[in-house]
Amino acid sequence: MSARLIDGTAVAERLRQEAARRVAAFTTLTGLAPGLATVLVGDNPASEVYVRRKRRAASEAGFIDFHHHLSASSSPGDVAAVLDDLAQDERVSGILLQLPLPAGFDRHGLVDHIPVAKDVDGLTTGSQGLLARGRPGLRPCTAAGVIDLLDETGINLEGAAAVIVGRSELVGHPAAELLLARNATVTIAHSRTRDLAEVTARADVLIAAAGIPRLITAAHIKPGAAVIDVGIHRTDTGLVGDVRFEEVAEVAGWVTPVPGGVGPMTIARLLANTIQAAEAAHARTVQPDAPSSGQ
Ligand code: NAD
């Protein structure tokens, strides 16, 4: 392997420790720890695992845990009512509605019950609008974690050719916006892209977020490129990403492993967003004209 490994576990650990330090300082300053509310609907086993991990990490960092688990038979109105209560609750700094929701729920309509100032997943229409306009706000956790990992390499993103494979609201699209904000020259490839390898082979920075196991081969890579693998797939032989790690690592300059790459960054960024939301809310109580987010 000639590529250098980007160690997401180590970067995430640093971010988590930094969040915990800020939580301790906030608690000392205000007399009350900030709170993270997680809302889970139905009984998707993977979602249950993700929410448990997020709650545990938040508790370890010193946040107060507010958790609501609604049954799959609850109505969209029930979910909206929980979100509206949390929106009003001053002890709650951040609200996360775990996705996907059960079939038949209007994801966009429900997510938008979360106030922008508490939108620690960065998925409301308001937060995505702020991102599109390049204004301060809470950014989607996985996409923000991708940028953290690129920063770890020391690569200059300004003017770099960045290709993102995938255009989802959760990952691909916000990652493209964040790279654009860093003055990269951004291309988004997706399921209708005609010749994927021809597009990706021009990338100095390649973000693989298609959700297809081992889609990206050595033939997709420009020699020396930084490759960030967002995909996570459970197989009989263990976890794999969207990237064929062993062959891509022979061509790329930098590459993230799966596991241990982007995965740990999502939770670390959630903690960072939640303390950011708490600090900004506190700043508004002290100085009412302060912007709605500290970023
Ligand atoms: P998604 O299914 O919502 O979006 C996938 C995107 O890939 C779509 O925009 C689609 O157009 C594009 N795509 C599909 N097939 C393609 C192809 N053959 N060529 C090019 N583009 C193609 O998925 P998502 O929510 O964005 O997640 C993507 C992957 O990232 C999944 O494997 C998911 O498990 C993983 N993920 C990881 C984390 C993490 O914390 N590491 C967080 C979120 C998602």
Bridge partners, residue 70, by sequence = 41
Please report the pLDDT score of residue 122 as a whole number.
98
Distance of CA 202 to the CA centre of its chain: 25
Backbone φ, ψ for residue 94 (5° rounding): -140, 145
The best mutation among 232, 233, 235, 258 to test binding of ligand 1, ranked by most ligand atoms within 8 Å of the C-beta, falls on 232
Residues 38-66 have a mean pLDDT of 97
* Phi, psi torsion values for 193, nearest 5 degrees: -65, 135
The CA 228 to ligand 1 mean position distance, Å, reads: 13
Q: In the prediction, which pLDDT does 232 show?
A: 96
Above 70 in pLDDT, residue 292?
A: no
Q: Write phi, then psi, for 293 (nearest 5 degrees).
A: -145, 145
Q: Tokens for 283? A: 């700043």
Quick one: pLDDT band at residue 288, thresholds 50, 70, 90? Answer: confident
Please, what are the domains in the chain? 26-119 (3.40.50.10860), 141-263 (3.40.50.720)
Over residues 64-75, mean pLDDT: 97
Give the mean model confidence (pLDDT) for residues 59-81. 97
What's the confidence (pLDDT) of residue 294? Answer: 47
In the chain, the amino acid numbered 179 is: L
Query: How far apart, in whole angstroms, are the C-alpha atoms of residue 259 and residue 159?
Result: 30
Helix ranges (DSSP H) in the chain: 8-30, 45-61, 76-88, 107-111, 125-132, 141-153, 172-181, 196-200, 245-248, 263-286
Instruction: Output the pLDDT for position 150.
Output: 98
Mean pLDDT value of segment 80-95:
98
- Mind giving me the DSSP string for 205-270? EEEE-S--TT-B-GGG--TT-EEEE---EEETTEEE-SB-HHHHTTT-SEE--SSSSSHHHHHHHH
Mean pLDDT, residues 92-121 taken together: 97
Catalytic residues: 54, 98, 121
- Least confident range from 18-32, 160-174, 223-237, 281-295: namely 281-295
Return the residue matching tokens 């196991």: 213
Q: Give the whole-angstrom CA distance, residue 294 versus residue 267.
A: 19
Per-residue confidence (pLDDT) for residue 293, from 0 to 100: 56
The confidence score (pLDDT) of residue 250 equals 98
* pLDDT of 1 over the 90 cut: no
Q: Within 6 Å (CB) of ligand 1, which residues are found?
A: 142, 165-168, 170-172, 189-191, 193, 196, 209-212, 215, 230-232, 262-263, 266
Q: Tell me the two tokens of residue 74.
A: 């609850």
Q: Which two tokens stand for residue 151?
A: 């920063």
43 and 13 in contact (C-beta within 8 Å)? no
Ligand 1 geometric centre to CA of 263 (Å):
13
Which pair of tokens denotes residue 181? 């904000």
Q: Which residues of 44-55 are buried (b: 16+ CB within 10 A; e: fewer)?
A: beebeebbeebb
Distance 75 CA to ligand 1 centre (A): 28
Residues above pLDDT 70, as percent of the chain = 98
The predicted structure's pLDDT at residue 37: 99
- CA distances from residue 193 to 186, 190, 197, 225, 260 in whole angstroms, order as listed: 15, 5, 10, 20, 29
Per residue in 220-249, pLDDT tens? 999 999 999 999 999 999 999 999 999 999
> Cβ neighbours of residue 183 under 8 Å, at least 6 residues apart?
157, 158, 159
